[in-house]
Amino acid sequence: MTDAPVRIFRNKVHGRRRGHKLRPGQKSLLETSLPVWRLPVEALEQQDPRTLFGRPVDDVWLEIGFGGGEHLAWQAAANPSIGLIGCEVFETGIVTALAHVERQQLDNVRLVTDDARLALEGLPDASLGRAFVLFPDPWPKVRHHKRRMVSPRTLDQLARTLRDGAELRLATDDPPYLRAMLALACVHPDFEWLARRPDDWRVRPDDWPQTRYEAKAIAQGRPPAFLRLIRRSRT
């Protein structure tokens, strides 16, 4: 196999990769468990993603920026026939997600620890049944807006990789970022926003669990918005 060309993104969409120094137990988890669950982005370019889980799965869902992994683990446990690919670069979040996966023995989870945009570019067309971009970094300074994950380029890639009728879920507690999501995602020609009344974006569906980040935002007076969009038919 020849080496794949290295793709470099000019704008970062994430901050630091490391936070506080890991405790010995966390470091051990990272060293012993991550090789088991880690998915190299190169693997996405070489085969149907449904074959990447060690057992048959009916569909594959993608979470971009899984934070501490609570939502990823909940979805994996609630949907054992679905393969969940989670993307995250922050070391502490990766370790926390590994703890969830190990404790629940979620064999339908794989973790990408590289830039999520590489995973998106590597995925085949119409290969995903659902995608999540939940509470991404809002990059509030105007000069940093180009780093936001919800961007025209990312939405185009999501439209390419989601099959017809697949769902894209977005969430944020940042009002300016919400306006940007509405201006970009909800008018994108390949997506249909499902909201018909205010509760459709103010209230989470039953199959959308609360995360620690969401609870913190609510406690600090920042009510989240939950956007659900459907990939329009290509025909």
Walk along the chain (235 residues) and give the pLDDT tens digit of each residue. 333 333 444 455 444 555 567 676 677 788 888 999 999 999 998 789 999 999 999 999 999 999 999 999 999 999 999 999 999 999 989 999 999 999 999 999 999 999 999 999 999 999 999 999 999 999 999 999 999 999 999 999 999 999 999 999 999 999 999 999 999 999 999 999 999 999 999 999 999 999 988 999 999 999 999 999 999 999 8
Q: What pLDDT is recorded for position 45? A: 84
Q: H or E element: which one contains 133?
A: strand 128-134
Structural domain includes residue 8? no
Q: Taking a C-beta distance cutoff of 8 angstroms, is the pair 161, 124 a contact?
A: yes
Structural domain includes residue 64? yes
Q: What pLDDT is recorded for position 5? A: 37
Dist CA 98 CA 36 (whole Å):
10
What is the residue range of 152's domain? 24-231
Angle CA 221–194–235, to nearest 5: 145
Q: What pLDDT is recorded for position 199? A: 95
Structural domain includes residue 15? no
Structural domain includes residue 153? yes
CATH number at residue 210: 3.40.50.150
Q: Is 48 a catalytic residue?
A: no
Active-site residue, selected from the candidate residues 59, 107, 114, 137: 137
Spatial strand order of the sheet with 128-134 comes to 109-112, 82-87, 59-64, 128-134, 162-172, 225-231, 191-193
CA 50 from centre of chain: 17
Give which of 117, 126, 36, 131 is closest to 82, Cα–Cα. Answer: 131
Structural domain includes residue 18? no
CA 214 from centre of chain: 15
Structural domain includes residue 6? no
Residue 59 region by backbone torsions, left for phi larger than 0, else alpha for psi between -120 and 50, else beta: beta
Give which of 156, 119, 181, 152 is closest to 231, Cα–Cα. Answer: 156
Q: Taking a C-beta distance cutoff of 8 angstroms, is the pair 69, 102 a contact?
A: no
Q: What pLDDT is recorded for position 30? A: 81
Structural domain includes residue 155? yes
Give how many domains the chain has, as a whole number.
1
Structural domain includes residue 14? no
